[in-house]
Amino acid sequence: MDTFILGFIGFGEASYSMAKGLHGTSHPSIVAYDVMAGVGTTIKERAKECQVRLLPTLASLIEASDVIVCATSAKYALSIAQEAAPFLSKGKIYADLNSASPKIKREIAEIVDGSGALFSDCAVMEIVPPHKHRVPIAVSGSGARLCLEMLNSIGMNVTYINDQAGSSSAMKMFRSVFMKGLTSLLVETFLAAQKMGVCEQVLGSVSITLEQNSVEQLANLLINRTAVGYERRISEMEDVVSTLEDLDIDAFASLATIERFKWMQSLELKEHLHGVVPKDFREVLDLVLEISK
């Protein structure tokens, strides 16, 4: 891959960490534009440390860069793309690194693709500072393949998803459904267990289940069995909620679990499956999507 210029819109923690990782490697020339560059000395000091050239305007940043990476904030992602569009042109890649929704990423894609440039929806899959430029990034959109080729050529860690803008952000968002939801479950589970003096025992029991099964095995075990056994699970969880209330512990996660199981009941999944537990959890998902049409 021939040398190219990498430009960051926003030189906050993510951009700085990546530039810091690239510093001293066979990295391309790096430039940056940040509206806060004139406020205080932090951004200027970061740029000097990483030998990043700060440019005075968004237009000058885009003009100077081959790959433009917007790393500001999700709430500004769309407006920055709108502001950047008049300066974009064929041959440039506009990559949005912000944690915006798939809908916003698709709107940005329309703006960027309309300018003649290529768009890459980038989803950062881990915390940036520990990994620096090697942080895992998933990419999708019209410019995803080329973005991957160029960024990986300088030692970055980019994975191609598909050519549809929004896919990468959706993957990150749906991963958050699990990770944040798991956090809520852990709090509720161990708060109650700690209050009853059985935290270590519950921890050990849950650990055995998690250690003995992959995520896919757990999905097949839990989703498939619940699809034909939601009545019993609803009853069990109602007893759980009652116990938590007796302990003066808010049952946020458990109440949500009951609502999810009642939703499965309303779809009559057990009847559609004739009471037979499927082998693959994807069968349940496809059935739900079919019923919900």
- Residue ranges making up the domain that contains 12: 5-164
Residue 50 confidence (pLDDT) above 70:
yes
Give the position of tokens 């300088």.
154
Q: What is the predicted pLDDT for the residue at 4?
A: 94
Residue 1 confidence (pLDDT) above 90:
no
> HSE-up of 31 (CA within 13 Å, CB side)?
18
Instruction: Assign residue 195 the CATH number of its domain.
Output: 1.10.1040.10
The SS3 call for residue 64 is: helix
Residue 32 pLDDT level (bands cut at 50, 70, 90): very high
* Residue 98 sits in the same domain as residue 47: yes
| Concatenated DSSP letters of 85-102 | GGG--TT-EEEE-S---H
Please give the Cα distance from 230 to 97 (Å, whole number). Answer: 40
* Residue 138 sits in the same domain as residue 240: no
The per-residue pLDDT for range 162-187, each reduced to its tens digit, is 999 999 999 999 999 999 999 999 99
Q: Of 164, 193, 227, which residue is a domain's last? A: 164
The per-residue pLDDT for range 178-215, each reduced to its tens digit, is 999 999 999 999 999 999 999 999 999 999 999 999 99
Tokens of 272: 């559609």
* Residue 64 sits in the same domain as residue 185: no
- From the number of C-beta atoms within 10 Å of its C-beta (0-12, 13-18, 19+), residue 242 rates as exposed
Q: What is the predicted pLDDT for the residue at 244?
A: 98
For range 136-161, the mean pLDDT: 97
* Residue 141 sits in the same domain as residue 12: yes
Residue 293 pLDDT level (bands cut at 50, 70, 90): confident
Q: By mean pLDDT, which of 34-38, 56-60, 88-92, 253-257 is the weakest? A: 34-38
* Residue 90 sits in the same domain as residue 234: no
CB 183 within 8 A of CB 137: no
Please give the Cα distance from 33 to 57 (Å, whole number). Answer: 6
Instruction: Assign residue 119 the CATH number of its domain.
Output: 3.40.50.720
Torsion of CA 136, 140, 144, 150, to 10 degrees: -10
Residue 26 confidence (pLDDT) above 70:
no
The per-residue pLDDT for range 100-109, each reduced to its tens digit, is 999 999 999 9
Please give the Cα distance from 174 to 283 (Å, whole number). Answer: 19
Total structural domains within the chain: 2
* Residue 216 sits in the same domain as residue 160: no
> HSE-up of 102 (CA within 13 Å, CB side)?
12
Average pLDDT score, the chain: 96
Q: Which of 14, 127, 144 is nearest to 70 (CA)?
A: 14
